[in-house]
Structure 1
Amino acid sequence: MRSIAADFPSREISFNEYDVMFNLSRAPGRQLRLRDLNRHVLLTQPSVSRLVDRLALRGFVQKHTDPTDGRGALIELTDAGFELFRRVALQHMDTITERIGDTLSADELTQLTALCDRLRGSD
């Protein structure tokens, strides 16, 4: 992960900002409760909150009060944020492909995906 982060191809967003945008892009309606977002990234809650605030100032995400719980916040990826995410994702995928290449066979990739999905489902 350190080497992939070190080779991260964007100067517009950081690797951690990309991670937040990636998780939002996969969520229904491109939005998550802040506490749910915290469970999906490798940052502390205060760090995620500051990062979200920075992304909001730049227009890449919006924060809304959660209508089901006024104490909570919903974080939504804006259209501008999604377009930036997609652009960076293509470059980032090239970096990952260069690093990993043909190291794993198709069967091994399928197995790795299944294992990661299983681990992700265990929270």
Structure 2
Amino acid sequence: MNSRRDAVDAWEALYRAQVAVLRHIRSEFPEGVTFTDYDVLFNLSRQPGRRSRIRDLNKHLLLSQPSVSRLVDRLAARGLVAKASDPDDARGTVVELTQAGWELFRRAGIQHSRVIAERMSSALTDEELAELARLTNKLRQGEEPAGPEGAGRA
């Protein structure tokens, strides 16, 4: 069994690596979209019909519900998402990726994925990338949904 110190050392190494890589990736992020904007667009792009209730979208983001609502309002004002009342719950709101939002997401995603691939591949072999994915997915399997107070994710 791993000792507590080994677990803390592994966490610190993982967290510090994430911060370093994230800083590099953010420094080369595409113009016209922020990292948090992209996160919302990315998560909507992965949902059936490219739409989601705000409360469900919130589960994928490290922002408070009011922050997500304000961010969605800003994206809607830019025409990147559309908001509608939830037909199943009048208190809820459904957010849908617009064509303009999809196109911005795709353009930003091409550049963003290139930067990620270059950064990750410059430090790790293909086998190490596969092992990293396996290990981090294994860590996530037992996770509880993290709220805004959760640390370590951008």
Provide the C-alpha distance between the structure 1 equivalents of 2:131 and 2:52, rounded to a whole number of angstroms: 28
**Contact 1:9 1:95 (8 Å CA) reproduced:** no
Report the equivalent of 1:54: 74
SS of 2:89's partner is coil
SS of 1:42's partner is coil
* Greater gyration radius: 2
TM-score (norm 2): 0.71
Counterparts of 1:78-117 in structure 2 under 5 Å? 78-117=98-137
Q: Percent identity?
A: 54
Provide the C-alpha distance between the structure 2 equivalents of 1:75 and 1:13, rounded to a whole number of angstroms: 18
Provide the C-alpha distance between the structure 1 equivalents of 2:69 and 2:101, rounded to a whole number of angstroms: 17
- Segments of 5+ residues of structure 1 without an aligned counterpart are none
Question: Could you tell me which amino acid in structure 1 is paired with residue 76 of structure 2?
Answer: A
Q: Quick one: structure 1 residues 29 and 115, their matched pair in 2 at CA, closer, same or farther if it must change by over 3 Å?
A: farther
Offset of residue 116 of structure 1: 4.2
Offset of residue 13 of structure 1: 1.1
Which digits, 9 at most, give the CA deviation of each residue in 1:8-61, with x for residues without a partner? 122x11111001000000111001110111111122222211111011011110
Provide the C-alpha distance between the structure 1 equivalents of 2:135 and 2:94, rounded to a whole number of angstroms: 30
- Runs (4+) off by over 6 Å: none
TM-score (norm 1): 0.87
Provide the C-alpha distance between the structure 2 equivalents of 1:59 and 1:120, rounded to a whole number of angstroms: 35
Report the equivalent of 2:84: 64
Report the equivalent of 1:4: 25
**Contact 1:4 1:95 (8 Å CA) reproduced:** yes
Q: How many residues align?
A: 122
